[in-house]
Amino acid sequence: MSPRARAVHPQGVLERLLEWLRGRRQRLVRVAEGRPWLLLSYPGGGESAAAELEGAYARLWPAFSAQLRAAYQTLWPALPAMVVVLLRPRNVCGCLGHHHPRGTESRLARRLESELGHPLAEVDLAYQEIARWQPEPLASLAVASSPDALQPLHFGAALLAVLLHELEHLAFPDKSEQEVRARSRAFYAGAMKELVEAELGRAYGMA
């Protein structure tokens, strides 16, 4: 999921090298309701992003209205029981995330699949880029609230929107980018509406 085309930047290459040198850590997110478990793999310094994604997937998603969640009711049965999520500060291409088609998974995912004897899926998310992503800047300004108050709400909704986007590409590879992006952006707008109303007691969107 790319907000715009970018050239590979040396800073991104340096971050990947430092990530490799520091090693990675894992966190298992276990959920019910027929959704897959997530195995989060993240670099040193990425603990807070991993915790945010765990909270968004395990606790925030079930708290949304059934109407908002209905758009993805066919997604969960089409995915394997576990999805590996590679968290990075940035992607060298500048994308918010990628889905990894069959045969392009990381060594971690391939090793787990072999040991467990069950198929896995894999995506990656660039959490610093997602935190800065502004799909609806005018709607955010219309809340007339401090950016500091909106940022935690935005981050959780944005992490879920990008995760759902990449999972939908994995589950339904024949769907077009336009269709998948329209659904994930509609989810983000609906999630922000519910969060802003519940947490700030204000309307979200342009009057």
Fill in the amino acid letter for 157: A
How does pLDDT run across 64-92, given as a tens digit for each residue? Answer: 999 999 999 999 999 999 999 999 999 88
N- to C-terminal Cα separation, the chain = 29
pLDDT confidence tier of residue 30, bands split at 50, 70 and 90: very high
DSSP category for residue 36: P
pLDDT at 47 over 80: yes
205 pLDDT band, cuts 50/70/90, is low
| 148-152, 160-164, 191-195: the lowest-pLDDT one | 148-152
Alpha helices by DSSP H, listed for the chain, are 10-22, 47-55, 61-63, 66-69, 107-116, 127-132, 137-142, 147-171, 177-200
Separation between Cα atoms, residue 35 and residue 9, nearest integer Å: 36
- Structure confidence at residue 29 (pLDDT): 97
Q: What is residue 59's predicted lDDT score, i.e. its pLDDT?
A: 96
Rg of the chain (C-alpha set): 17
Full-model pTM: 0.85
For 118-154, the pLDDT digits (tens) are 899 999 999 999 999 988 766 665 555 556 678 889 9
Per-residue model confidence (pLDDT) at position 73: 94
Asked if residue 207 has pLDDT above 50, the reply is no
* Number of neighbours of residue 204 by Cβ within 10 angstroms: 22
The answer to whether residue 13 scores a pLDDT higher than 60 is no
Dihedral pair phi/psi, residue 175, rounded to 5°:
-70, 145
Query: Are 26 and 18 within 8 A, CB to CB?
Result: no
Q: Hey, where are the domains in the chain?
A: 10-200
The confidence score (pLDDT) of residue 11 equals 54
- Token readout for 6 is 């970018």
Question: Over the stretch 166-182, which tens digit does the pLDDT of each residue have?
Answer: 999 999 999 999 999 99
Q: What is the pLDDT of residue 1?
A: 64
Please determine, for residue 58, whether its predicted confidence score (pLDDT) is greater than 90: yes
Question: Is the pLDDT confidence value at 201 over 50?
Answer: yes
